[in-house]
Amino acid sequence: MKSLPEIVKANGPDPASTPAALLSMAHTWRYSDAGGAIVCDCPPGCTKTCGDYESWYGGHFVCESMDRALAETIIAAVKNLAGFGS
């Protein structure tokens, strides 16, 4: 499996990772299977990069470097702001 820096260097930033695209998927935000990150289902417009991120994080990468409690707080806040409830 490629490392995350290798993925970004090879593919560049994912155009589907804009705030609007990620917010549209707020109902699918969850704590990463790998731990320490928030992921979601792939937003519309995902590129081939999405597959690499999904294999690394267990979903489309949103943000990282946090414990589960902080991630759950962020996920609940985003879902409430997007109108999906917590």
Tens-digit pLDDT profile for residues 20-29: 777 778 888 8
22 is a domain residue: yes
39 is a domain residue: yes
The domain containing residue 59 runs over which residues?
4-81
37 is a domain residue: yes
Burial of 15-51, coded b for 16+ CB within 10 Å and e otherwise, reads ebbeeebbeebbebbbbbeeeebbbbebbeebeebbe
pLDDT of the residue at 70: 93
31 is a domain residue: yes
Which residues of the chain form beta strands (DSSP E)? 30-31, 37-40, 60-64
Domain count, the chain: 1
34 is a domain residue: yes
23 is a domain residue: yes
86 is a domain residue: no
Percent of the chain with pLDDT over 90: 15
